[in-house]
Amino acid sequence: MSIQYTEAYRKAFGEYLRKGTPIRLYMKQAGNTDQYVWRTQRDERVRRSHLANEGHVFSWAEAPATGHPGEDHNCRCEAVPYIPGEVEFGFHEFITSLASSYGRWSNRDFVRHYYKGDGRPVTLLEIGHLREIAEQYAYDDGPAGAFRRLTDQIADEARGSGAGSLSYEFGAAYDFGDVAFSHGDGVVRGTFVGHVDDRGTMLRITGETTFEFSDVFEDPLDVGIEVGGTPYPIVGSWTARFSAEVFKDAFRSVYGAVGGR
């Protein structure tokens, strides 16, 4: 089954390259409704909605909201036939609802709170920035976003620890200035807590990651002059579920510091 599927896919991809035939239709004609792993090119040109699909297992019979890889204009993503135990996958999914019923704070609101808020801390949720911060961090930070990078790091940690429970902490400052100028140097720290199962040549990794954002608003004019307000913390947190199967052999893997693509 798996070899036939691979051949069918290669043929479909060839048809797509030569004639632009959508892979999905071809695979349907071939009577194959199996699964694939979405792989992006992992660079700045990949659109965010496709980075969110990176490493997920999808079915040809049920397209994600984005459509299948290669269907969108100029999409360079690939559908790698998913064969359990032979093909790797790895992805994070937000558990926390990022939706906010609060109005979105503008730069003016940040400054107003600096003068009138008496230093009261605010959360990303209540200022309407939670989704933007969490998604920018997950998909836009660096060439492929923190989620993809974290998959590499967790895979390497799992190789080091082997089967059993796994905990991994991380954290760094990021430029969230695109969301609001005052988030220019927010910090995100996180902890992954999960479990590693031995699956022969592969490791199965499952767990959850908690992310904590922190920043302090202290200089509304951004000029280093004290102008009479009160600095206040900006905090936020969210969680994501993680699921992966990676090769124990890092050199064979697409995940990890030494893995090749």
**At closest approach, how far in Å is the CB of 66 from Zn ion?**
8
Per-residue x/- track, 30-59, Zn ion (CB under 5 A): --------------------x---------
Q: Which stretch binds Zn ion (CB under 5 A): 25-33, 77-85, 88-96, 175-183?
A: 77-85
The number of beta carbons lying within 10 Å of the beta carbon of residue 219 is 15
String of DSSP letters for 129-197: -HHHHHHIIIIISTTT-HHHHHHHHHHHHHHHH-SEEEEEEEEEEE--TTT-GGGTTEEEEEEEEEEEE
Is residue 71 near Zn ion by the rule CB under 5 A?
Answer: no
**At closest approach, how far in Å is the CB of 71 from Zn ion?**
9
**At closest approach, how far in Å is the CB of 132 from Zn ion?**
22
Under rule CB under 5 A, how many of the chain's residues touch Zn ion? 3
Residues 6 or more apart in contact with residue 139 via CB below 8 angstroms: 48, 51, 52, 145, 147
**At closest approach, how far in Å is the CB of 38 from Zn ion?**
8
Is residue 77 near Zn ion by the rule CB under 5 A?
Answer: yes
Nearer to Zn ion, 41 or 161 (CB): 41
Identify the burial level of 234 via C-beta atoms within 10 angstroms of its C-beta, where 0-12 means exposed, 13-18 middle and 19 or more buried. buried
Among residue numbers 175 through 234, which ones bind Zn ion (CB under 5 A)?
A: none
Is residue 75 near Zn ion by the rule CB under 5 A?
Answer: yes
Query: What is d(CA 129, CA 186) in angstroms, rounded to the nearest whole number?
Result: 13
Positions touching Zn ion (CB under 5 A) are 50, 75, 77
